[in-house]
Structure 1
Amino acid sequence: MPPLLISHVHQASLQGIVEASFFPGALFLISKWYKHDELGLRTAILFCGNIISNAFGALIASAILDNMQGVLGRAAWRWLFYVEGSLTVLVAVCAMFVLPDFPETTSPGWLSAKEISLAIKRMEEDTDLVHGREAESLSSGFWMAIQDRNVWLLTCTMACQIVTVSFTAYFPTLTATLGYSRTISLLLCAPPYLISAVLAFFWSRHSDKTRERFYHISIPLCVGIFGFLIAACTMNTAARYVSMFLTVQSYAGVCVLYGWLSNTFPSPPAKRAVALAFINSFSQVGNITGS
């Protein structure tokens, strides 16, 4: 195997290792602060960051690769890692001082002792927690999660969802087939994602208000299926671009499903933590299948 390829494999592996815990950890942290009928909107806000990054990520990468070759004697692809990596590190350092701990372990400061007590009481009333179950160990939570058939069912469901939206990895390639220049093709990636982010936000908010998940997951998927059918049945440029808008709207259902995960495993927290990590990890098989 060529040394450069080995180096890229090592870099990708290290990046995957440090990133793997971010999203399930973020979902778990949100689920410790918000009630079950508040999770959909908060999860959507988190996930909309991913959707918006898809809108502009390819364009930013293109600008760096086209204009920074040889700057300070460095290859453009290295600058891509420098710029995007430094932004990630900056946000991570800021998060260390901004993100709170769990309600029962956070230190007074940004919240008063009375507000912390209220936050704990809210979650106890929402999940009917028994204080003794808060002390469940991670190992017991692991076995409870593994033995719960809902964990496996939701893992398969999430994997299928990820297969549905895996086309986004090739979205710049799809817009390029419309026949425009490289820059315009990358610009055409943005509107579908931006509209999808707005729709996901309000759709998840409506799901919380109505306390309904199933139809809020299914309807966006049906819209996505309709988009796939249009893309498969015509070569008309306008129709194909409209189909891209429709397929990307599937993300609204994905956002609601992520909120549903925490709703399904309210307690004990150890089980919920393992379930979220397990489902997020093994459902990524969908990305392998989709590619």
Structure 2
Amino acid sequence: MSIANPALPADQAPAKTELDGIYKKIFMRLIPFLMMLWILAWLDRVNIGFVKLTMLDDLKWSEAIYGLGAGIFFLGYFFFEVPSNLLLQKIGAKKTIMRITIGWGLTSIAMMFVKTAGMFYFLRFLLGVFEAGFYPGIILYLTFWFPNDRRAKAFGMFMSASAFAGVIGGPLAGAIMTNLNGVNGWAGWQWVFLIEGVPSVLAGIATYFYLTDKPDQAHWLTERERSLVHADLERDAASLGRREHSLLASLKDGKIWLMIMIYFCIVAANSSLTFYGPTLVKEVGFTSPMAVGWIMAAAYLCGAAGMIFNGFHSDKHQESRYHCGLAAALGSASLLAVALLLKTSPLLTLVMLALAIVGTMSAIPVFWQMPNRFLSGAAAAGGVALINSVANLAGFGAPWMLGVIKTSTGQLTTGLYVVAAFEICATILILMFVPAFKKSSPVARTTPQETRIPPQKWTTTHD
């Protein structure tokens, strides 16, 4: 039930420091919990990259089977992401996220019983179905709580959880596979699916009791705080102009398809690093699951730092084009270096792999600042999900391509060249076709007699 938000008298208008304190309170209430959920989602999604180190031999599968199974997850994403995000807009975040989280946890647990390639494909697809809507749903959810000039920090911290999951996931999977292999007659990789799936089910139940759908329902904010946030978000929406349009209009909108192409290129790189990063570490000579886990943990720790810094810096300077485009360029150049050095310099290969993770992951949170400048409300629910679902087809294609190339040639070099080319295309598209938006002043939005910023038009004018 919503709590009333009475209009705030002009003489009670907030100082910027008061709003800063309120948004810090919201940040601390929501972001750590959402990060925990994203860590669990990421672990259940990508643990396949670690268990493949022994799972393929146990089940006598080829790299092509693995690549298709890893990528087919994103087909489930593609078909169910838009409906899931529209459902979140209709029934609320906590019910939607509870369903998603419990579903992916149970599916992850079921993965421990995989025996055939067909069952592997089905469960990976089902995992994508359940996770569909979570990531873009949280992007949408955070727009209910933070104005545009505060979102990059919130997005960056939330999305950095995927990097922290890499920090945790590698050593955790390595320890489980090393110490529990053979216990109860199960292989180490089976224990990974069980141990990493159960917490998601429990977290899904907790979600229903912890999350609040919108600020006007937040019992943990005072009446004045709810009113201030409500008024600030209303002013923020007004300053950006009218941006509502239907999902059908999104399908016809060239801006949406430009965003899809950009994000497709970034996802191609990110999914390749996610599902084949451990394999690359193994190829330079580290065969122990524990060693691979710790090396990937160090790389993802660097990625987490890059994501957080880039998000904070983007918020500070109210700029997203260069923050996204140059981060993608770093990722592309580093992937190219990995391909060139893979067989000649193990140490430099690992350094370049870490930089590829830093660049690619740092581009993601600031990317979402761009579509959020011209989407809101129901249009955001459908538009964000459309961008994410279509672009994530790269998450299906890239791992499959790498698996086929690895099976046919015995190496990943050619595939890495292709992925690096995709990522540099993201930089080119951003810098050539995405306009520079005018900076909005947070102070102007918080004064009683604010100056309205004209609606921002999509032009080809650049910084």
1:173 aligns to 2:296 (yes or no): no
Question: SS where residue 368 of structure 2 aligns?
Answer: helix
- The counterpart of 1:164, out of the listed 239, 263, 269, is 269
1:68 and 1:75 in contact (8 A); partners too: yes
2:172 and 2:293 in contact (8 A); partners too: no
- AA of the residue aligned to 2:324: I
Deviations 1:49-72 (A, max 9, x none): 111112332332232233324434
- AA of the residue aligned to 1:212: E
Range that drifts further, 92-101 or 2-11: 2-11
- The counterpart of 1:271, out of the listed 371, 375, 379, is 379
Change (3 A) 1:11 1:260: same
Task: Output the CA distance in 1 between the equivalents of 2:160 and 2:115.
Answer: 37
Change (3 A) 1:64 1:3: closer
Task: Output the CA distance in 1 between the equivalents of 2:178 and 2:215.
Answer: 47
1:40 and 1:260 in contact (8 A); partners too: no
Range that drifts further, 75-84 or 44-53: 75-84
Change (3 A) 1:15 1:233: closer
- AA of the residue aligned to 1:241: L
- The counterpart of 2:177, out of the listed 55, 65, 71, is 65
Q: Which residue of 1 aligns with 2:36?
A: none
Once the two structures are superposed, the pairs formed by residues 13-32 of structure 1 within 5 Å of their partners are 13-32=125-144
Deviations 1:26-73 (A, max 9, x none): 110001111111111111111111111123323322322333244345
- The counterpart of 1:258, out of the listed 362, 368, 371, is 368
1:28 and 1:273 in contact (8 A); partners too: yes
Task: Output the CA distance in 2 between the equivalents of 1:162 and 1:123.
Answer: 30
Task: Output the CA distance in 2 between the equivalents of 1:239 and 1:289.
Answer: 28
Q: Which residue of 1 aligns with 2:447?
A: none
Range that drifts further, 48-57 or 140-149: 140-149
Deviations 1:59-88 (A, max 9, x none): 322322333244345454443222111111
1:170, distance to aligned residue in structure 2 (A):
0.5
Question: SS where residue 230 of structure 1 aligns?
Answer: helix
2:174 and 2:292 in contact (8 A); partners too: no
Q: Which residue of 1 aligns with 2:394?
A: 286
Change (3 A) 1:85 1:35: same
Task: Output the CA distance in 1 between the equivalents of 2:151 and 2:211.
Answer: 17
Deviations 1:191-213 (A, max 9, x none): 12101111210111110111101
1:205 aligns to 2:325 (yes or no): no
Question: SS where residue 189 of structure 1 aligns?
Answer: helix
1:230 and 1:240 in contact (8 A); partners too: yes
1:199 and 1:252 in contact (8 A); partners too: yes
Q: Which residue of 2 aligns with 1:184?
A: 291
- AA of the residue aligned to 2:350: Y
Q: Which residue of 2 aligns with 1:5?
A: 117
Q: Which residue of 2 aligns with 1:120?
A: 230
1:159 and 1:286 in contact (8 A); partners too: yes
1:52 aligns to 2:158 (yes or no): no
Range that drifts further, 66-75 or 177-186: 66-75
1:39 and 1:259 in contact (8 A); partners too: yes
2:334 and 2:353 in contact (8 A); partners too: yes
Once the two structures are superposed, the pairs formed by residues 75-94 of structure 1 within 5 Å of their partners are 75-94=187-206
Count of residues in Structure 1 that have an aligned counterpart in Structure 2:
280
Task: Output the CA distance in 2 between the equivalents of 1:80 and 1:191.
Answer: 20
Taking structure 2 as the reference length, the TM-score comes to 0.56
2:320 and 2:367 in contact (8 A); partners too: yes
Change (3 A) 1:18 1:129: farther
1:248, distance to aligned residue in structure 2 (A):
1.0
Once the two structures are superposed, the pairs formed by residues 140-151 of structure 1 within 5 Å of their partners are 141-151=246-256
| Cα-Cα RMSD | 2.4
If you compute each CA radius of gyration, which structure gives the higher value, 1 or 2? 2
Q: Percent identity?
A: 26
1:155 aligns to 2:263 (yes or no): no
Unaligned runs of 5+ in 1: none
Change (3 A) 1:275 1:6: same
Question: SS where residue 215 of structure 2 aligns?
Answer: coil
Taking structure 1 as the reference length, the TM-score comes to 0.87
Change (3 A) 1:238 1:80: closer
Q: Which residue of 2 aligns with 1:194?
A: 301
